[in-house]
A and B are shown apart, each in its own frame.
Chain A
Amino acid sequence: MESNEITKINGKGVYIAGNDIDTDRIIPARFLKCVTFDELGPSLFFDERFDTEGNSKHHPLDAEVHKGAEVLMSDANFGCGSSREHAPQALQKFGFRAVIAESFAEIFQGNCTTLGIPCVVMEKPYRQALATIIENAPDIDLTVDLHSMHVVCANQIFPITMKNSSREAFLAANYDPLDTLLQANDAIKVTAERLGYI
């Protein structure tokens, strides 16, 4: 894949509080009716943002001050539930380029990695401090730095961690593994034969 290395993400942040924010919440199942992912952006967190009459529920994503945010922060077990890639696709199409949380569900984290969205883990006290900064100064940029493994914001430095294989893949620009997988065609065939699959 002709992807570029991902080392730093700069942008405004928005905090969506809550543990166990599942992929049904990130994108309700009715929006999965599609044969491409292109139009998913506006459906992100739809039922959290609008009531059944379509009135705004004043979700952080719709606050004027958070318009254009590119880094989403949440709490534990973000992205749990369904394997639907529609969830990270909707995040990306909405404009997000990185996610910070206490922890991530694994399928979601893997899907994000393939799309080039780093999922970084930050401990609670740091997230609380960062949430306060964002609340007080929503226009301020924060930088997610995968080299130094820090988030930098308002001259403060917040340590982060992430799955090592994902970090390696972002830094080496091969987070979409397809080309690498295909290069092993001969070895794949040998494995398939050895296992009696062909």
Chain B
Amino acid sequence: MAKNLFQKVWDGHIVQQLDSGQYQIFIGLHLIHEVTSPQAFGMLHDKGLKVAYPSRTFATVDHIIPTDDQSRPLKDDMAEQMIQVLSDATEEHGIEFFPPESGSQGIVHIVGPELGLTQPGLTVCCGDSHTSTHGAFGCIALGIGTSQVRDVLASQTLAMDPLKVRRIRVEGELAVGVTAKDVTLHIIRTLGVNGGVGFAYEYAGSTISAMTMEERMTVCNMSIEGGARCGYINPDQTTVDYLRGKERVPKGADFDKAAEKWLSYASDADATYDDEVVIQAAEIQPTVTWGITPGQAISIDESTPDPELLEGLEKALISDALGYMKIPANTPIKGTKIDVAFLGSCTNGRLSDFQAVAKLLVGHKVASGIKAIAVPGSEKVDAEARALGLHKVFEEAGFEWRKPGCSMCLAMNPDKLVGDEVCASSSNRNFIGRQGSSTGRTILMSPIMVAASAIEGKVADAREVFGLK
């Protein structure tokens, strides 16, 4: 029977069906970090349990690590303790750990793919909702809570309900200045922040097929913002080419054998889906958020909504969101004054993101009074960017080039907004208080739009600022 990728990978990883109706699923790759995992080791310890398959778990530090001075002990005692607990636990349980200055540290969702740990057909999980990123390789990639991190450490399995699969076909060529980030913001805007509940999203169609792996990761990364439990893209030659030569993939003839297997996980041509949505690439414009959820997004040429045209809870929600953002109703979003520009995160902190921006940034300067930071997603991204001289381009334009980490995406480290500052951000969440100040304001957009906004000091259209045609 024809199957889609989700069904193939899911069926292959079933250990058993549980009495509750859930399935026990084997987890092929488990990634852990310092914020949601140390407590799980405590839970294991309390129950006298060991890590069942330590070679299938990998650890790094990303959420809390400073991006300026990473020398140990960290100035923040609790941050230091969290990293130490993780480091000790990995040593005790025989788990491979990529600490700062190992050359492989970074945001967990950037590290997995760049090392080649993330491979098609795997079940991947991590105590972080943006684990959906790994779906770009044709994985079932699930964000999980700490008790589930415990479950995976102790048993290498999870109890899970099966998901429905919605195929989202994006068809056609993206216009100049429209990026993978705009595609994902457009999808979330169209289907809603809870439109994906109960679903895995399969992203397909000619637009997706034409994307690089890095672009595909951006799209899959934000599946969770659309409510989907995970998102994936069928492995193809682009996937195989990306993985070739990566540190942790098979070599030589073994690679060819692996590649053949990887490609076999792709959805069958006659596979069926629980739902299908078609989006025309031509409809997608550079997209930015105006509110407090990633679905509260509009194209750069649109105006903010008018709550007076709505009723009841909808009216209150729109009105409250605009009120929090201190952005007027029914007003063009372009031109909204910003204070901070943040380039980085698991959504847009890969080499290609910095390359795309650097190419445009030459000859431009960040507007005066704007704090602009560029945070590479990993030590590898940092090293590659430095080797290409990209860091100099950013610094000459007025960006600070930082050390790798999650940084101002969730601001658990010292990189935080102050007061009600407005941040043009390449990250994934514009929730209230997300960037470290309870009154801080976030406007999500693509990396080139962040750069354009940094130069103008206000929300700007990259196509105009950089003369893209």
Contacts and interface: CB of A to CB of B under 8 A. Distances in A.
Interface string B291-323: 011010000000000000000010011001000
A82 to B, nearest CB: 5
B206 interface: no
A88 B158 CA distance: 19
Contacts of B76: 33
A160 to B, nearest CB: 17
B375 to A, nearest CB: 16
A84 interface: yes
B347 to A, nearest CB: 14
A92 B429 CA distance: 25
Nearest to B18: A180
A142 interface: no
Given A52-B439, A197-B56, A25 B433 contact: yes
A30 B193 contact: no
Interface string A158-195: 00000111101100101011101110110110011001
Interface stretch (B78-86, B167-175, B334-342): B78-86
A182 B434 CA distance: 37
Contacts of B224: 81, 107
A107 B151 contact: no
B389 interface: no
B128 interface: yes
Given A106-B198, A114-B148, A191-B15, A36 B436 contact: no
Given A28-B438, A107-B143, A165-B161, A77 B227 contact: yes
A3 B15 CA distance: 24
A168 B161 CA distance: 12
B79 to A, nearest CB: 6
Interface stretch (B22-30, B278-286, B355-363): B22-30
A84 B148 CA distance: 11
B429 A184 contact: no
A37 to B, nearest CB: 6
A84 B433 contact: no
A69 interface: no
Interface in A6-29: 17-20, 22, 24-25, 28-29
A77 to B, nearest CB: 4
Given A172-B19, A172-B20, A178-B151, A107 B438 contact: no
Interface string B50-90: 00110010000001100000000000101101100100000
Interface of B: 12-16, 18-22, 24, 26, 28, 35-36, 38-39, 42, 47, 49, 52-53, 56, 63-64, 76, 78-79, 81-82, 85, 127-129, 131, 143-148, 150-151, 154-159, 161, 193-194, 197-198, 224, 227, 229, 292-293, 295, 313, 316-317, 320, 410-412, 429, 431-434, 436, 438-439
17 contacts: A19-B313, A22-B431, A24-B429, A30-B411, A32-B63, A33-B64, A77-B194, A84-B145, A107-B143, A110-B145, A165-B161, A176-B147, A181-B155, A187-B16, A192-B53, A195-B12, A197-B26
